[in-house]
Structure formats: C-alpha cells, structure tokens
A = this chain, B = another copy of it.
C-alpha cells in the first residue's frame, strides 16, 4: 500500500477555479451571465477570466498579492472571482456600502497592489484616496476602473480600464495552462472584511480548499440542481456571495447580474429570465413586500430563496412565500467561508399547518456536508449541551472551511480558533431532531433578574403581529432586574401611526404570547426604518447604546428624544 505515491493523474489542488474550466467544457452553449443587454456563454466567461489572469500576471501580480475590488454585482465582479485566484493572488471584495473612512482603513490594512473600481464608485474612491497618505512603506495601489460594459465611452482618467485589460490578455497565455498558478490548495483565495459593527473590520483569510468544499456544501445544502438561473440579489462582496459565485459555475447555471436592488428590477428579471434561485439577507424581503405585488402563491415553480444573516421570523417567511418565493433559511459566517447550517426540509413536516411549517423553517437547521463538526457547547464547561431545544450554548465549528485566520491579527485569530475550533459567539440550542436554532449573538442576550432572554425570541412574537414591519429588541436598564427588554418597532406602511396609548396594547399583546419576564417594558416606535450596518443587519449595538437613556415607565419626552436619535442615526448613514 505504501508504494503507491501520488502522481500528476490523481493529485490536483482543490480550488473553485476548476469549476469554471469544467463549465466551459460541459456547458458550452449555456448562458453564463446576463446583465442588461449583455450576454456571455461559459466558454466566453472562461476566456475572459483567462485573459484577465494573463493581464494581471503581466502587471506583476503574483502569489499572495492582494487585488481589491469595489463594485456592485456587475460581470467584472463575477469574473474577478475566477481571474484573480487563477494567478495565485488573493481577491479582496470590498463592501460598497461602507464610508470612505472605513474603506481607507481596509486598504491600509490589506495593502492591495491593484484596486478595481466600478465607475459608480469613482467619487467615493477619490475621497478614500485623500484619506490615505501613501508613501514608500506603502505604495499607492494601481487603480483600474470598470466602465459600464456596453458603454462606448472610452475612459478619460486612465488608459487602463477593465475591458482594456481583458482585451490585452495574451490569447496564447489564455489558451495554455501557464496562467494557472494555484500550487497549494491551502493557499489563500480571498480576503473578506467583517462588517465591523463594533470595532475596526477584521480581514478574514479563506483558502482555495475551504472555498471549494464550502461551494459543494452550498450546492447540496440548498439542493441547487443543474443549470439554475440565479438572480444576484446578494452582494458578491458579501462572503463571495455565500460561495454562490463559484457554485453557479459548478452547476453550469446562469448569473443574472443587477446593479440596483429595487422591487421592480427584481420582479422584472425574475419574469424575463425565468429565475429559479436567489439568495438575500432578510431586509430584501422588506423590499419585496413593499414592491406592490399581490398574491403569487400560485406561481409554479416558485423561486428558491436562501436567506440568512439574521433570523427571519416565521411571520415574515409566511408573507414572502405568498409572493411566489420558496424560502430556505440558513446560517453562515465569513469566518466559516459561508454556509454552515441549512434548514433542510423534512418529509413529515408536509402535513403540518402552514404557520407551524414557517416556524420550523425559521430554525437554522443541520450542518453542511463538508464540515467535520458543528456543536453547541456550554461556554464554561466546554461540554456539549443536551439536545433538548432549550439549553443554550455557543455554536462551534470545525472543518476545512474554517478560515485560516484574521490577516495580521494573531490575537483575534487565536481567540477565535481557541480550543481547536471556530468559536462563533452565536448562542443557540439543538432540537431533538438534530436541527440547530440560533437564539442570539452572545452580546445581544438580555439578562433580566438572572434570566437569559433571547432578543430573537421576543422579536419573533412581535413580527407575528400583522402591524409590525421591523422589530429589534435590546436590553434597557432596569433598577430592580438589571436589564429588561426594550423594543424598537417600525410599523407597516398604510397603517396609521400608533399613538402613545398603543404602546401598552403592543406590550399587552406580548404578554398574551410569551412569559411575562420576557415582555418588552418599553416600545419605541420608529418611522421608516431601523438603523442597519452595511450588510443590512440591524445595528443592535447602536440601539442598545440609545436604550441606555430610556427609563422604565419614564416620561414621553425621554422616549421622543431616543426616537429622534434613531432617526438621525439612520439619516446620517444614508
């Protein structure tokens, strides 16, 4: 047995880049990308990515160099997910919703050799560059603009634009194996910064091997069958689009790219191109629900939607299904290269009433096939919690898709990976049927009179009220219990604004639907929307900070002030 050494035939590094070559050979006639009037086939996309890689190599990009990109879901963003890793360089997709200051922090930390910028973000980039005093110790990255792909305008500010790079990529190089520089599957493929709600963003480094395995799990966990038509409602900069960038190539699907995320654009693309799949954070549901469509539950087959990022309450899922979407709920994190849990449907749930089905769907589910372990541990004893659906603990993960670490941050890396596993900081329970349910981020838990209250549990009940559009529950100070829940609520449009007296009604509604100690003692009504971070997650840290000023059974003036501060905060971020 020992004499059988590995050889060229059976020893190939695992990298999602191979999915692209395969797509060009197995799906030669299938459309790879749709964007406005632009269409590419898989052989064309493969050719363009090879040309991009050849051009990058000619610009002296090499192993472990960082190549950053600031772009919406345009074809260039998709192509860079293959063209950059092909060269051995590391892709760094930057969240376009960040402000100039945060982007400057990221660039200073990541030190990219090249920064690709979509034309839409040219002014923002100007602002960023002014914040960065480049010197010899940190040379200025080469800026390459991405112009509108079907535009006939030539770029004025620079000779090099993205399309120029594609065109000058040596065809002889692109047709040979010499551009393929992945030597070790454990080498980094992407550098993804966390949203950084609390501190400076951290740079998560993931590997080719981890991305490859996560992509396969994403396909199986979501049951993404061959040749999906995938609508990009999730930003590709968001954890490489939860690995769906690579998954669509692996399945020979069609990427429908969109610049703007509006309800008319989404529904138009679905109808026009026969979209079968899309993934998004739950805030997109809000966009869909306000898009003016009526009941589409007859639509067959429905669009398969994967959601995650924060827990969508059962009541919200129910409303979205009526618009012709079949929602699957998942849980993932940048540090685990995307998908970790999928709420896999069980045959026996088919006979349950719809409302109960939605409650089961709101759980995060079972762990993905290529991980080695996902468990819920008591944070003090480090022992697994009983599988009773009640005992909370921290979710921990082990497997090849766990990040290599945080770039240039050994302290945070060893903290996150201590005990030989990824410690997520998310609290959850395991149900007797094996499904895991997230209860809260450890910092979002409310401790009232020694009892742990899951803010998500309280929010769930609030969302079940037909008048509630958005809800977030955080701790507010309480003279006796230490903390007590406070709810920030946005009401549905078209409903009359509730007056003060109705706060009591909503609290009473809560008292009828949950244990009294869990009920919010205060409801702050906000118009329009709650403050969110750049990934659309509600900024509970901000709300918690503001809630400190509130007093239980306090005066209206204080509450009004907090209301105003929330509105101001939302405005300041737009």
Contact = CB atoms under 8 A, between A and B. Distances in A.
Interface of A: 1-4, 6-12, 14, 18-19, 21-22, 25-29, 64, 90, 186, 188, 205, 207, 210, 216, 219-220, 223, 225-227, 250-252, 344-347, 366-367, 369-373, 387, 397-405, 407-408, 410, 413, 417, 420-422, 432-434
Contacts of A4: 188, 205, 404-405, 407, 413
A6 B1 CA distance: 27
Taken together, the copies of this chain in the complex come to: 2
Contacts of A3: 408, 410
Given A11-B400, A12-B372, A433-B29, A205 B1 contact: yes
B225 A6 contact: no
Contact of A226 (B90, B219, B345, B420): B345
Given A223-B226, A407-B1, A434-B28, A367 B9 contact: no
A12 B64 contact: no
A512 B400 CA distance: 59
A22 B220 contact: no
Given A22-B367, A26-B367, 9 more contacts: A1-B64, A4-B407, A9-B421, A9-B422, A10-B400, A28-B432, A29-B433, A216-B220, A219-B220
A226 B344 contact: yes
B226 A7 contact: no
A258 B205 CA distance: 48
A317 to B, nearest CB: 19
Contacts of A21: 373
B400 A14 contact: yes
12 contacts: A1-B64, A1-B188, A4-B407, A9-B421, A10-B210, A10-B403, A10-B417, A22-B371, A28-B387, A28-B434, A223-B226, A227-B347
Contacts of A7: 417, 420
Contacts of A19: 369
Nearest to A27: B434
Nearest to A274: B347
Nearest to A402: B10
Contacts of A12: 372, 398-400
Contacts of A407: 1, 4
A251 B223 CA distance: 11
A320 to B, nearest CB: 22
A188 B19 CA distance: 26
